[in-house]
């Protein structure tokens, strides 16, 4: 049977089973596998076990890998969730594709401003709302649904598949790098290609393939002023307050143009070459839609090319929160004794994490010297993940382009991604093989945000592209 004939059967089969796929995603979303909440670790473990059973039902040989402990507050330690290593097929005549994805999600609560319960998948107007629907439970299940569809159609699977599914991605992939290094000559040794579906299109209509990611360095800025919280009427105006120092420090990090104010940060950033500048011109990107998706009036940069460059190839610094600060309703007049500011820097070629760590440390020390405050201040790199850039002309990208055309009838844009998948570079280094980012979600999916969703059409078409991709890979 030709590829085209099989595609027609496969696509129809997938369409006929849409309800089952939605139910499966609903089951996955109902497990609140938030990696950032240590008290939810049992839910992350439940998600790992649920996925393991599903894989085993599909005939995937599964091994759970213990990756050690995580240090949490006050010197306590908890188990990191096991990493799922799966093997499906072992035919030496076939190519082997390693699929990476993650089962953990960002925190979510109705009180954050969700219109629906975040851990109840809710269908509205062709959209499936729920935490993890697009990041990354929907894409992970899409791969599994495709394997199931081939089985139900009695079609031999065209490639061998290996799975690496982790559950700490949203917390910097703790433990995974060491595991992959230890698997270089075993589990990873026969991998031909690595593919990751954990990112989003640049718009709502046009598919893309991505060949770059920014890295991330997440910092904790710790300020302590006293041995206990204090009454601001009794002590206000007489002591150096922790929050005052912290706010002052945090306000020295980035200006209103998004420019990072830490000395030396831009020194290692790769210069923009004329050839690279040309790459941005043909990319379809609607700046108005970008603003409306973010719910903002305007962006810092005006031109499409400038916005994309600041999203993909320049570093950025974001302030995320302050632990220990009063954030409830009403008025509390306490001076908190200890606050921790959270900020992250997205890093790009050719920045080095070690250099950045030193520059941040020096910057904080310098500002504190100027402030003449006696408070205890320290800054710590909580986790760091490298940037990654690949060759979009690799045969794997050509295969994915053909698969995209078979489903969408158009060539995908070749783009980069401003977010981070910290382990991507490690996969490239430990396998020595090409890594492809194959996003299936739309730009307005709202990953990490309130009302995260996955469009049913993207779920369905995403599976079709994945199904066709396996056939194209088999031809290489």
**Residues within window 352-371 making contact with ligand LNQNZP67, judged by CB under 6 A:** none
Contact call for residue 135 and ligand LNQNZP67 (CB under 6 A): yes
**Is 420 assigned to a binding site?**
yes
Give the range of 169-177, 182-190, 313-321, 407-415 binding ligand LNQNZP67 by CB under 6 A.
169-177
Cα-Cα-Cα-Cα dihedral sign, residues 152, 158, 161, 167: negative
Active site residue 27: no
In angstroms, the CA 100 to CA 108 distance is: 24
Cα 86 from chain centroid (whole Å): 21
The helix (H) or strand (E) run that includes residue 66 is none
Neighbours of 205 (CB within 10 A): 13
Neighbours of 154 (CB within 10 A): 6
| Nearest one of 208, 195, 80, 199 to 427, comparing CA atoms | 195
Contact call for residue 100 and ligand LNQNZP67 (CB under 6 A): no
Q: Which residue has the tokens 């959209």?
A: 127
Q: If contact means CB under 5 to 8 A according to the sort of partner, which of Zn ion, ligand LNQNZP67, none does residue 420 touch?
A: ligand LNQNZP67
Q: Which residue has the tokens 């405050």?
A: 373
Contact call for residue 122 and ligand LNQNZP67 (CB under 6 A): no
Q: Which of 40, 96, 128, 136 binds Zn ion (CB under 5 A)?
A: 136
Count H helices and E strands in the chain, helices first. Answer: 14, 20
Contact call for residue 172 and ligand LNQNZP67 (CB under 6 A): yes
Give the range of 160-168, 195-203, 291-299, 312-320 binding Zn ion by CB under 5 A.
195-203
Contact call for residue 427 and ligand LNQNZP67 (CB under 6 A): no
Nearer to ligand LNQNZP67, 159 or 425 (CB): 425
Cα-Cα-Cα-Cα dihedral sign, residues 114, 251, 300, 348: negative
Give the range of 144-152, 268-276, 418-426, 437-445 binding ligand LNQNZP67 by CB under 6 A.
418-426
Name the active-site residue from 136, 166, 169, 174: 169
- Reply yes or no: is the peptide bond before residue 136 cis, omega within 30 of 0: yes
Q: Go through 253-289 and write b for each residue having 16 or more CB atoms within 10 A of its CB, e for each that does not.
A: bbeeeeebebeebeebeeeeeeeeeeebeebebbbee
Active site residue 169: yes
Question: Could you give phi then psi for residue 34, rounded to 5 degrees?
Answer: -85, 115
**Is 224 assigned to a binding site?**
no
Least distance between Zn ion and beta carbon 226 (Å): 37
Q: Which residues are annotated as a binding site for substrate?
A: 198, 231, 333, 346, 420, 448
Residues serving a catalytic function are 104, 169
Residue ranges that bind ligand LNQNZP67, judged by CB under 6 A: 135-136, 169-170, 172, 198-199, 216, 218, 385, 419-422, 447
């Amino acid at each position: 049977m030709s590829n085209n004939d099989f595609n027609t059967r496969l696509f129809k089969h997938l369409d006929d089973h849409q309800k089952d796929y939605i139910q499966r995603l609903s089951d996955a979303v109902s497990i609140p596998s938030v990696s950032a909440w240590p008290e939810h670790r049992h839910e992350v473990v439940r998600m790992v076990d649920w996925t393991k059973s599903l894989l085993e039902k599909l005939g995937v040989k599964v091994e759970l890998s213990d990756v050690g402990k995580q240090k949490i507050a006050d010197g306590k330690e908890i188990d990191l969730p096991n990493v799922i290593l799966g093997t499906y097929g072992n035919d030496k005549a076939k190519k082997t594709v390693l699929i990476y994805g993650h089962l953990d999600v960002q925190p979510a609560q109705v009180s954050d401003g969700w219109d629906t319960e975040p851990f109840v998948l809710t269908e509205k107007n062709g959209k499936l709302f729920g935490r993890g629907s697009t990041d990354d439970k929907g894409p992970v299940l899409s791969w599994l649904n495709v394997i199931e569809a081939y089985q139900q159609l009695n079609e031999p699977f065209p490639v061998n598949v290996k799975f690496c599914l982790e559950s700490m991605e949203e917390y910097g992939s703790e433990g995974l790098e060491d595991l992959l290094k230890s698997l270089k000559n075993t589990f990873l040794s026969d991998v031909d290609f690595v593919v990751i579906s954990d990112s989003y299109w640049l718009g709502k209509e046009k598919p893309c393939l991505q060949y770059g990611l920014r890295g991330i360095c997440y910092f904790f800025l710790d300020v302590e002023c006293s041995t206990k919280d204090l009454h601001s009427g009794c002590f206000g105006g007489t002591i150096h307050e922790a929050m005052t120092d912290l706010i002052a420090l945090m306000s020295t990090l980035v200006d209103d143009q998004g420019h990072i104010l830490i000395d030396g940060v831009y020194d290692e950033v790769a210069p923009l070459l004329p050839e690279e500048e040309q790459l941005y011109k043909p990319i379809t990107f609607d700046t108005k839609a970008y603003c409306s998706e973010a719910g903002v009036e305007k962006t810092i940069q005006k031109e499409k090319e400038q916005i994309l460059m600041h999203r993909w190839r320049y570093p950025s610094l974001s302030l995320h929160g302050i632990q220990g600060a009063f954030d409830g309703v009403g008025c509390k007049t306490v001076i908190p004794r200890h606050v921790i500011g959270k900020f992250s820097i997205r890093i790009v070629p050719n920045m080095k994490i070690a250099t950045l760590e030193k520059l941040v440390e020096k910057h904080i020390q310098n500002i504190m010297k100027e402030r003449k405050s006696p408070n205890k201040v320290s800054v710590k790199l909580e986790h760091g993940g490298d940037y990654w850039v690949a060759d979009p002309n690799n045969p794997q990208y050509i295969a994915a382009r053909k698969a995209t055309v078979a489903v969408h009838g158009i060539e995908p844009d070749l783009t980069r991604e401003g977010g981070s998948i910290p382990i991507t570079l490690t996969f490239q280094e430990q396998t020595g093989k090409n890594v492809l980012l194959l996003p299936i979600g739309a730009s307005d999916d709202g990953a990490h945000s309130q009302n995260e969703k996955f469009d049913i059409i993207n779920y369905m078409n995403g599976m079709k592209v994945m199904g066709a991709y396996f056939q194209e890979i088999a031809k290489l």
